[in-house]
Amino acid sequence: MSFPLLTAVAALPAIGAVATAAVPAARRTAAKWLALAVSLATLVLAAVVAFRFDPGGDRYQLTESHTWIADFGVRYELGVDGIGVALIALTALLIPFVVLAGWHDADPVEEEAAPGRRWRPTQGFFALILAVEAMVVISFAATDVFLFYVFFEAMLIPMYFLIGGFGDRAGARDEAEAAKQRSYAAVKFLLYNLAGGLIMLAAVIGLYAVTADQLGEGTFSLRAIVEARASGELTMAQNTERLLFLGFFLAFAVKAPLWPLHTWLPNAMGESTAPVAVLITAVVDKVGTFAMLRFCLGLFPEASAWATPVVLVLALVSIIYGALLAIGQRDIKRLIAYASISHFGFIILGIFAMTSQGQGGATLYMVNHGISTAALMLVAGFLISRRGSRLIADYGGVQKVAPVLAGTFLIGGLATLSLPGLAPFVSEFLVLVGTFTRYPAAGIVATFGIVLAALYVLVLYQRTMTGPVRPEVERMPDLRKRELAVVAPLIALLVLLGVFPKPLTDIVNPAVEHTLSDVQKTDPDPEVEAAK
Amino acid sequence: METLIGLLVAAPLLGAAVLLCGGRRLDRTGHWIGTALAAASFLLGAVLFADMLGREAEDRTLSQHVFSWIPVGGFQADVAFRLDQLSMTFVLLITGVGTLIHVYSIGYMEHDERRRRFFGYLNLFLAAMLLLVLADNYLLLYAGWEGVGLASYLLIGFWQHKPSAATAAKKAFIVNRVGDIGLSIAIMIMFTTFGTFAFSPVLESVGGTSEGTATAIGLMLLLAACGKSAQVPLQSWLGDAMEGPTPVSALIHAATMVTAGVYLIVRSGAIFDAAPAAQTAVVTVGAVTLLFGAIVGCAKDDIKKALAGSTMSQIGYMVLAAGLGPIGYAFAIMHLVTHGFFKAGLFLGAGSVMHGMNDEVDMRRYGGLRKYMPITFATFGLGYLAIIGFPGLSGFFSKDKIIEAAFAKGGTEGWILGGAALLGAAITAFYMTRVMLMTFFGEERWRNAPTPSPKEPSVEPAAETGGEYEVPHPHESPKSMTVPMIVLAFGSVFAGGLFSWGEAFVHWLEPVVPFEHGHPPVSALTVTAATVVALLIGVGAAWLQYGRKPVPALAPRGSLLTRAARRDLLQDDFNHVVLVKPGEYLTRGLVYLDHKVVDGAVNGTAAAVGGLSGRSRRIQNGYARSYAVSMLGGAAVLVAATLLMRAV
């Protein structure tokens, strides 16, 4: 048996989480370095996964399969296609930056740090981040529906504590009020996702019942079910398939999040620290859109086609609504959260356009949105930590005193508005083109999003960075070395993937072709055979 | 030779990267690096030009495939260049004028502490603009298109501490993005229709599709052109863009970037030829804008804004010509090039005047400056004669051909378009004479303290001098500034004649830009005579008002039209009422809705579930014990789920 590489990518941060949590209270700094080392080692392992993966090879590679709960046919089954590889790579890539950016976010305030206290927030913070990483990796690699479900739900627990337990330093705000807001956001996050998860659980059980009924013995194996459906061994009644689809889709639409199930996101991203906000939107939420692509389309192709019109409309609403709400925000982090809602609309639009450009673009979008939002949000976090306020109106003229901070913030913003030359342009344009070829009206409506994106990004930049220097920001220091070490590589990646995305598209394209054949769709042919 | 094409773009791109990432240590040398790389790009362009001339007219197109950019299914976007006579013309204009303006900026920006960054942005602009004209497909063109938009944003807002500059920059970018919707959709239609968006296959197979599709693509491209080239109805950003440093106005907002829309239309000529309705839209936009810009130009007291109105108007001429089809394409490009010389020269002259006048832009505060800055006066004067179309100078040849072609369109349409173009020529002569007289002739109004006016805050005494008026000491600018002006003046004088010598320019472009002789309903000589008469009327009217009578220190109230023209014919008021205000209400309404309705429903549910938010407050009290308890609670959820499984 070959080395269980995928398990290792998940196990390493899991073990790291336990080890980090166990570091004695007095050795806070050691815990940080440990967490950083573990996340970097995980990145190396993820890179090995990416290099071992052969885009021209089997659909699922690096597979592992073991019996878990034999009674119910639950297996510990892992395997990745190109989409999974891209997202595991994204996760492993972002975590070190999250750790580094959150270096001081969980330092205990003085009375907590007093000798004799055994409270270890720092250790907890970094351990929880690593725990989330482990669970997300398993979710991206699981090809057993139940296994996926368990980790899809389990990651709520560490996320709940990360959101509710750690916030920005209150600064001018009332500490008690801030704690209340934080707690509200955490509970809201939990309730929403738990509700979605419970509906999914019912659908998971239903799926088991269907397979048990038709195949003789029940199974949760994605690959087995897809094969059985393709060969005609397994057929689902129309209504059953649609109900099961809805059960899965709802859970993923909460996580993604899709309008009108989005309202937990601005609270969660607003109240948590910037690195945790990145963890939410750039990493955890991607499990939702990824699962739509892998599970909804793979398991329920006909129901997916049935739901497409409604999903497309909801995606369009998300794009426009999210962007308009972003324009109306007064809080920097909430603005970025609403921008993300708009971007998730693009991702879902691309998935359900059912073209190779749409789905390939959606996959690239997941990766690129992760990197660009990380860049923008982390710089915003650095800014907020300097002034102790999230309100846009409390800033002005920052570029004069901190030009590097302002410059990197602008680049993050330009990536968010999908400027050509930066990675998000590639994915956004692919989604638009892929949608247009099949649904021209939807493609045109979505295109209006590019103007709104320019508005919310540039208005944010103008109000915070330009104009006369406000007295409160006069002494603001520019980016420190640690902060620059976070931002510079992210920007370099944005440029690299914007100019030369081919390595990524090479990995993703075959996987998208497989997904399209699951739903039995082919790209529309051009109207005219163009001269060459 | 092909490999040199990539270097053409790479040189200024390298400059931008080095200057913007290089940090303070390059402050002393940055402007030299930037200028050297711009010049290198020009030299490469010259080498390629010489090489091109050495080959047969039919065999002059070079192409270079650099790498595959975005390959997904049938969607194949490449980074590939195409250098033909049309792009060569632009390469020489962009790098030539660009280099001159780099040189000029060395002097102009000497005292700016962020000069290195300024040169970095200028280099970035050159790279993006070259990408735009060298791309061999519409998607790569789009990358350059947005790239120049970014450079324009950064340079308009270069003095970011001024709120007006920051606002103007944002406005320019956003209005341009509206145009970009057009370019995006055009590319999508192309891909859906032809399965590609590379120039040659698309343009060669336009015949295979319906007129409706061609019209749709044409109209979308026109929308894009309107944004980038400040044509009605997306013209509102150009006047505000004058907040940028003057060399920027000369290079980006006069000579090169704003003409990109004309390039797009001419490049896509085959599409427009197949879509008469789209062509009608193009000529209408051109004719309306050439009058719109000219009228605005008459009413502005700010020298740069008067010139900006003029730019809009002149590009209107080019768009008009481009909409006329093969009888106009070549003249659109010819006017674009001659305009590049004289308008860049005029802006640099305006910058030179401002340089000598403590950055004053109000022409009512100028007067009689010809004695103090003779070189500026002479070069500006030659630019002035060129733009009004004084016989023998550049503008005369190129504008006259456009007016002829407009008449040659035929029918009532031809008379309307030709008439509009003639009327535009008269107004051009009027406002440019006005600028000339107010700036260089007449009383030296700057000797007196400005008259305070409650309505015109710009003429109130400067705050920094504490109310004391300091009389400026107008002086000639340094050599680094005057030499580029002199070079451009040469172009303003001779380029038109040179291009028209045996129709040299038309023949040069012909292999890639189709050309037909237009036949105006009256003889060409009559048209020329009418143009000259229009010119004389315009100059005479301006002289009566601004030459014979003293210029009042305060702008008179003026007629309704004058007042509207001062406000850019109410474009901002219109946008404000129709777009901005409703948009604000919509956004505010949605924010309220999201909070109260969507969220309110959730709050209610959450409270109903058992006052969870109240209970969970205890979780936050910082005791590890309660964390442990809730961790347990979370785990219980999982266990419950598994048990549920067993129960099934």
Hey, what long-range contacts does B42-46 have (CB within 8 A, 24 or more apart)? B42/B92, B42/B95, B42/B96, B42/B98, B42/B99, B44/B4, B44/B7, B44/B8, B44/B11, B44/B95, B45/B8, B45/B88, B45/B91, B45/B92, B45/B95, B45/B96, B46/B92
Say if the Cβ atoms of B170 and A459 lie within 8 Å.
yes
Provide the ipTM: 0.93
At B644 the pLDDT is 54
Neighbours of B293 (CB within 10 A): 31
**Residues in B touching A467 (Cβ below 8 Å):** 160-163, 166
Say if the Cβ atoms of A527 and B594 lie within 8 Å.
no
Give the DSSP H/E element, type plus range, for residue B408.
helix B394-408
At A277 the pLDDT is 95
Instruction: Check residue B228 and report its DSSP letter.
Output: H
Return the SS3 of B451.
coil
Neighbours of A64 (CB within 10 A): 18
At B627 the pLDDT is 44
At A413 the pLDDT is 96
pLDDT range class, residue A435, cuts 50, 70, 90: very high
At B3 the pLDDT is 86
Closest CA of chain B from A260, distance in Å: 8
pLDDT range class, residue B452, cuts 50, 70, 90: low
Given a cut of 90, is residue A150 above it in pLDDT? yes
The verdict on B187 touching A (C-beta cutoff 8 Å) is yes
Rounded Cα gap, residues B230 and B247, in angstroms: 19
First-to-final CA distance of chain A: 50
pLDDT range class, residue A110, cuts 50, 70, 90: low
Return the SS3 of A76.
strand
Return the SS3 of B198.
strand
- pLDDT per residue as tens digits for the range A5-58: 999 999 999 999 999 999 988 888 999 999 999 999 999 999 999 999 999 889
The verdict on B631 touching A (C-beta cutoff 8 Å) is yes
Identify the residue with better confidence: A148 or B565. A148
At B218 the pLDDT is 96
List of residues 6+ apart from B302 with CB closer than 8 A: B242, B361, B362, B363, B458
What are the tokens at A115? 């000798």
Rounded Cα gap, residues A22 and A198, in angstroms: 33
Given a cut of 70, is residue B629 above it in pLDDT? no
Q: What is the pTM of this model?
A: 0.92
Rounded Cα gap, residues B591 and B594, in angstroms: 5
The mean pLDDT of B111-132, rounded to a whole number, is 94
Are A35 and A130 in contact, with CB atoms under 8 Å apart? yes
Are A319 and A346 in contact, with CB atoms under 8 Å apart? yes
Given a cut of 90, is residue B23 above it in pLDDT? no
Give the DSSP H/E element, type plus range, for residue A334.
helix A332-353
- pLDDT per residue as tens digits for the range B457-493: 444 444 444 556 778 888 889 899 999 999 999 999 9
Give the DSSP H/E element, type plus range, for residue B591.
helix B581-593
Closest CA of chain A from B134, distance in Å: 16
The verdict on B180 touching A (C-beta cutoff 8 Å) is yes
Instruction: Check residue B609 and report its DSSP letter.
Output: T
At A530 the pLDDT is 67
**Residues in B touching A527 (Cβ below 8 Å):** 192-194, 209, 213
Q: Report cis status (omega within 30 of 0) of the bond before B12.
A: no
- pLDDT per residue as tens digits for the range B585-627: 888 888 888 877 777 665 565 555 544 444 444 444 444 344 4
pLDDT range class, residue A76, cuts 50, 70, 90: very high
Return the SS3 of B81.
strand
- pLDDT per residue as tens digits for the range B140-183: 999 999 999 999 999 999 998 899 999 999 999 999 999 999 99
Are A437 and A526 in contact, with CB atoms under 8 Å apart? no
Rounded Cα gap, residues B219 and B85, in angstroms: 26
CB-nearest partner of A526 from B193, B616, B619: B193
Q: Which stretch of A337-341, B285-289, B384-388, B468-472 has the lowest confidence by average pLDDT?
A: B468-472
What are the tokens at B511? 């292999």
Given a cut of 60, is residue B321 above it in pLDDT? yes
Rounded Cα gap, residues B304 and A413, in angstroms: 31
* Site from A445, A455, A500, A527 to mutate, B interface, most B CB atoms within 10 angstroms: A527
The mean pLDDT of B330-355, rounded to a whole number, is 94
Q: How crowded is the C-beta side of A20, counted as CA atoms within 13 Å?
A: 28
**Residues in A touching B167 (Cβ below 8 Å):** 462
Return the SS3 of B76.
strand
